[in-house]
A and B are shown apart, each in its own frame.
Chain A
C-alpha cells in the first residue's frame, strides 16, 4: 500500500515538473499566453500538488499513529486496539527507511518550486548564471503583469514556497493549506491575462 502511495507521489512530482516546463514554454508561444491552456495546466498542477501533499499528510498521520501505538504497547494497555500493532510497527520501519529519501525528495520539490519562480528555463540555463537574478530586459516576453510584481517579490515567493515544502510533515493540514494558498496565488497570478 505504501509502495503505491510512493508511485502516486512520484507520478505527482513528475506531472508537476512537466506542467511547469509547459508553463514556461507557453510564455514564448506565438500569440501570447493562452488562458485556456494556462488554466488547465494550473488545474493539473493543483491536482498533482494536492495528491502529493495529501500523501505526505497521510504518511505523517500514520507515523504519528504508529508512534502512539508503540507507546501504548510499552505501557501495556489492556484495552484492545482498533488497529493491530504489527502492521503499525512494519509501517514505522518503512517510514524510517524512507526518512532518508524524504530529505532528498524535499530537495527535489524545492528545486521544482524554485524553477517555478525562475523566469528562464532552468534546464537550458548557463550553469554560471545566478538563479536569483531578476529577469529585467533579458526575457523575450516582457513582463506585462504589473500586479504580479506588487504581490510578491521573487525572493519572497521562493521563501514562501520553500516554507510550504518543508512544513507538511509538522503542520499537516495547516501547512498544506498555506502552501496551497501561496502556490495557488502564484500560479494563477502568473498565468492570468492582464485585466482590461
Chain B
C-alpha cells in the first residue's frame, strides 16, 4: 500500500504506512526450540503484550507512557514480567509426554490493580495473576531490614511499620489450575463476555469453565463419534461471541464453522448456524482436505462478522449469511502449485492465525519468508510486508513486498525491483504464524520464529499535514 508522498494532491484516502518500532528476541540464527514463539496477545487496553513460547514461558511487555516530546515515538514496549507458566509433564497412564508449549494466552478484562491472564498448554489451563509491588513495609520491631530476627530483650521502643517505596517488582502467581478435563490436545481458550466463564476446546470437545471453580467443567460440545473409525472432522478453534455470552463458534478441519447458542440446550452438539462454502470442484487435489482445514477463527470486535483462516485464504463471514463468506482474500495463492513439496516439508500443516484491527476495517495474517499480509476491507487494498532484521532502523518505513510467479529465468521477476521475490526463493522456514493488533491503536505485534516485531503506523508530521490540506484545497479549486 504505497501512499502518496506528503504534499501530493489527490491523495484523499488515508494510506497506512507502517514503520519499524522494536524487535524482541535473540539475534542469532541458531534458534533454540524452547524460544520459538507460540502465541501473541494484547490485553484489552493494549498496554500489555504477552507472548508464550515452546519452553512454557510467558513474557509480558508493557507499553511505556507516551513520549510527548517525540510524537512519532509513541509506543515502546519493554519487558514487564517473565515467568514459567507450564512445565513438561508425563502422563503415566498413557505413557505420553505432555508438552509445555503455550498454545494460547487470553487476557481477562481488568477489574482491579492486578492483571489476570489464562495460559494453556495441550492439557492444562492456568489462571495467572500479575501484580505490581512498589511499596514494602519497613520498620518492624522484631525483624531487621535484612530479615534477621531481633532479640526481644534488645527492643527498647516500639514503632509502627510503614510502607516505603521500593523498586517496582512484578509478580506472577498461579491462582487457578484447570486440569484433567481434556483427553485430546487443547487448541483454544476464550473468555466469555460475562467475565465469569471461559471455554476451552480440544480436537473433539469444548468445555465450559467458571473462572472461580477449577475442579469442575461442563462439556458443551462433543463431536466424538461412537466409533473412532468414523472420525472425519475435528475441532480446530473455538471462540465466544464478544458481546453475547450465550453464543460461541467453533471451526472444523473440514472448513465449516458452527455457531452454537447455549440457551438452546445444555449440550450444543446441534448447531444453531452452519457456515460452509461449497468446494470448488476445479480446485480438487490430493490435499484439498488439508488446505480447507480452518486454522483460526476470530469474531470481529463488533460481533457482526467472523474471520476464518485456512491455508491459502482469509474469509470474512457475515453472521447473518451461512451460505458463503462475504469476502475472500488470497494470502499466497502462488503456493497452490507447490502443495506437493509443501506437504513433504510439512509446511502444509502450518496453522496460521489472523486478527482484526480495532475498528474491523483491516485484517492481518502471516505467510512465509517472514512476510505478513494486510487486507483493507474498506478500501479493497492489500499489502505484503516483511519482518526482517534488515530494516531495523528506528521508524524505518516498511516497503511493500511482492511475490512474482511468472515463468522464465529468475522466476519472471524484474531484477531491478529489489522488493520482488520469486516463489522459488521464498524461505519456508521463516514463517509468521502469530500476529496481534493493538485494540485501540495502529500498533501490531508480529512473531517470526523466535523474534517479536512491533510495528506502528507512521504518524504524520504536523507540518506536512498542513501542506497536504493546502494542496488539497488547490486541487479542488
Chain A positions near chain B (C-beta within 8 angstroms):
11-12, 15, 18, 22, 30-32, 34-37, 39-40, 43-44, 47-48, 51, 141-142, 144, 184-185, 188-189, 192-196
B203 at the interface (CB under 8 A from A): yes
A155 to chain B, nearest CB (A): 21
Q: Could you list which residues of chain B lie within 8 angstroms of chain A, going by C-beta atoms?
A: 94-99, 101, 122, 183-185, 203-204, 224, 228-229, 231-234, 236, 253, 286-290, 293, 340, 343-344, 346, 349
Say yes or no: A37-B229 contact (C-beta < 8 A), given A15-B343, A141-B95: no
B184 with A193: CB separation less than 8 A: yes
Assess A35 versus B184: contact at CB under 8 Å? Given A40-B349, A144-B95: yes
Is the Cβ of B234 less than 8 Å from the Cβ of A39? yes
A188 x B231 contact (CB < 8 A): yes
Collect the chain A residues with CB atoms within 8 Å of residue B185's CB. 31, 34-36
| Distance from B410 Cβ to chain A, minimum over Cβ atoms (Å) | 27
CA A51 – CA B286 in complex, angstroms?
9
From residue B285, how far is it (CB to closest CB) to chain A in Å? 8
Name A30's contact: one of B99, B232, B234, B289 (CB within 8 Å): B99
Contact A15 B95 (CB under 8 A): no
The 4 closest A-B pairs by CB, nearest first: A192-B228, A31-B99, A32-B96, A43-B289
B289 touches A36 (CB 8 A): no
Do A44 and B286 touch (CB < 8 A)? yes
In the complex, the chain A residue whose C-beta lies closest to that of B295 is A36
A15/B340 in contact, CB under 8 A: yes
Give the docked Cα–Cα distance between A44 and B98 (Å).
Answer: 27
Question: For chain A, what secondary structure do more than half of its interface residues adopt (helix, strand, loop), or is it mixed?
Answer: helix
Q: Are A30 and B97 in contact (CB under 8 A)?
A: yes
**Residue among B122, B233, B236, B290 with max Cβ neighbours from chain A (10 Å):** B290
Query: In the complex, which of the residues A47, A141, A142 contacts B289, with contact meaning CB atoms closer than 8 Å?
Result: A47
B343 touches A144 (CB 8 A): no
Closest CB in chain B relative to A83 CB, distance in Å: 27
Residues in A whose Cβ lies below 8 Å from that of B288: 47
CB-based contact A35/B203 at 8 Å: yes
Chain B neighbourhood of A39, CB < 8 A: 231-234, 253
Q: Which residues of B contact A35 (CB under 8 A)?
A: 184-185, 203-204, 231, 234
Q: What are 17 inter-chain pairs, A to B, with CB distance below 8 A?
A: A15-B343, A18-B344, A34-B185, A35-B185, A35-B231, A36-B185, A36-B236, A39-B231, A39-B253, A43-B289, A44-B289, A44-B343, A47-B288, A51-B286, A144-B96, A184-B229, A189-B228
**Given that A36-B253, A40-B290 are known contacts, is A185 also in contact with B183, CB under 8 Å in the complex?**
no
A30-B99, A39-B234, A195-B224 given; name 15 further pairs at CB < 8 Å. Answer: A11-B286, A22-B346, A31-B98, A32-B98, A35-B204, A35-B234, A36-B185, A36-B203, A36-B236, A37-B349, A40-B289, A144-B95, A188-B228, A192-B229, A192-B231
**Contact B228 A195, beta carbon cutoff 8 Å:** yes
Q: Contact check, A18 vs B253: say whether CB atoms are below 8 A apart.
A: no
Task: Give CA–CA (A44, B343) in the complex, Å.
Answer: 10
A144, B94: Cβ atoms closer than 8 Å: yes
